[in-house]
Structure 1
Amino acid sequence: MSETLSAKSMLIVVPDPTTPELARTLDLSGYSWKAVNTLIAASEHEPDGGWAGAIVDAAGDPEAAWAFLRTLRKQPASSLPVLVLIGGAQLSELTHRDDLFDDFCLTPFHPAEIEARLRHLLAGDVQLVSSDLVQYGPLSLNLETYQASMAGRPLDMTYMEYELLKFLAQNPGKVFTREILLSRVWGYEYYGGARTVDVHIRRLRAKLGEEHAGLIQTVRSVGYRFGESRWES
């Protein structure tokens, strides 16, 4: 386990033992972490500064993983950032469970994706600084801080939600198939298939809000297009 970061940067990893691939990725990225199976064990090993976040691997034993997260979210300090790892066939399990996690990643995963998602997940409240911006009407994306806002309202998005929205906003009016979005946004051979895109689009629309959900339009039998919403009418 790496000790290069402060106690505040320590992560809970579920279950114990974790997979060699995840352990290697966390160690090489410089994260301190502790593998546990229960919240009692997490409490016993909690550092003075508290846990920074949790990684829950639901690919092996999904029932135990979701049970752990349901219990976690019932705790007084239930705002702990959570990254869930799932297999491609488990994407349907995310439905109606958005409140149990903050971001998800499909396994097998690319180490660079885990690192990027953790950086975004643990970034905290970073003040906006002068940087390159992508703006479309009331939507603003800060390319340097990975922050987004709609009409001045901050949007709480996962790393890949942000990357997908950024790509679409940088190409307004163009229609993209799910396969092209997978290739251009995820950037390597991805195991989730088209269903991954649909899940992220659904979550993006919910976070944009009813008034602006129409910014992402479904083009029947083709894919998606970033375009008009009610503010343009």
Structure 2
Amino acid sequence: MGNDLTWRGAVIVLGESPETGLAVCRALRKRDVPIEPLLLLVRGGHLGDLELRDELYDDFCLDPFHPRELEARLRHLLWRAGATTGPETIEYGGLALNLETYQAAIDNRPIDLTYMEYELLKFLAQHPGRVFTRETLLSRVWGYEYYGGARTVDVHVRRLRAKLGEEHAGLITTVRSVGYRFGQSRWGA
């Protein structure tokens, strides 16, 4: 999910015998310290077994499910339960970007970045392994209304590499005659 979430609930899979799964839900609700929230994974053919039993669970998700739907339902349950989520971060090879506070650190050492340096690093880190042309980076990071030249990207990459330090400068690689890539290619080159 990308976040440090405090999850104290349970995900129950209602298999071929939904009554067994519902019995588990009942037992978890009756504990001295009930396990909450409860999310059920249920096959479409067993939806009828859920009628009038919503006191046993907090939400359900149809199985098979898309991972993003399950993630969204879990986040919603955490929000309803008042659980706190950690800051949204991107971490890669010693680099950590806090997307809420616009802070960056390398090996837990803060890096002082300008706004555009941060935005460029964030964009690249959100797409590890992908190569972007200078023109694409200009339009996606600086915006379509930016009138500067493509070499602006080169200057910002050079500054970023210097701030990342020798050991981590290789996080941003130059792809000759094309542009830049963050992290390793899935092809290992």
**TM-score between the two structures when normalised by the length of structure 1:** 0.42
Matched, 1:194 2:175: no
Q: 2:162 aligns to what? A: 206
2:130 to 174, 185, 209: 174
Number of residues of Structure 1 aligned to a counterpart in Structure 2:
100
Pair member with larger Rg: 2
**What amino acid is aligned across from residue 209 of structure 1 in structure 2?**
G
Instruction: Provide the identity percentage.
Output: 79
Structure 1 segments, 4+ long, off by >4 Å, are none
2:114 to 149, 154, 158: 158
Unaligned stretches of 5+ in structure 2? 1-84, 185-189
Q: 2:102 aligns to what? A: 146
Shift of 1:188: 2.4
Q: 2:30 aligns to what? A: none
Unaligned stretches of 5+ in structure 1? 1-128, 229-233
Distance 2:136 2:116 in 1: 15
Matched, 1:134 2:81: no
Query: RMSD of the TM alignment (CA)?
Result: 1.3
What secondary structure does 1:181 align onto? helix
User: Which string of whole-angstrom CA distances, capped at 9 and with x for unpartnered residues, describes residues 157-184 of structure 1?
Assistant: 0000000000000000000000000011
Distance 1:201 1:189 in 2: 20
1:226 to 162, 182, 185: 182
**TM-score between the two structures when normalised by the length of structure 2:** 0.51
What secondary structure does 2:145 align onto? coil
User: Which string of whole-angstrom CA distances, capped at 9 and with x for unpartnered residues, describes residues 89-138 of structure 1?
Assistant: xxxxxxxxxxxxxxxxxxxxxxxxxxxxxxxxxxxxxxxx9310011121
Distance 2:169 2:100 in 1: 24
**What amino acid is aligned across from residue 197 of structure 1 in structure 2?**
V
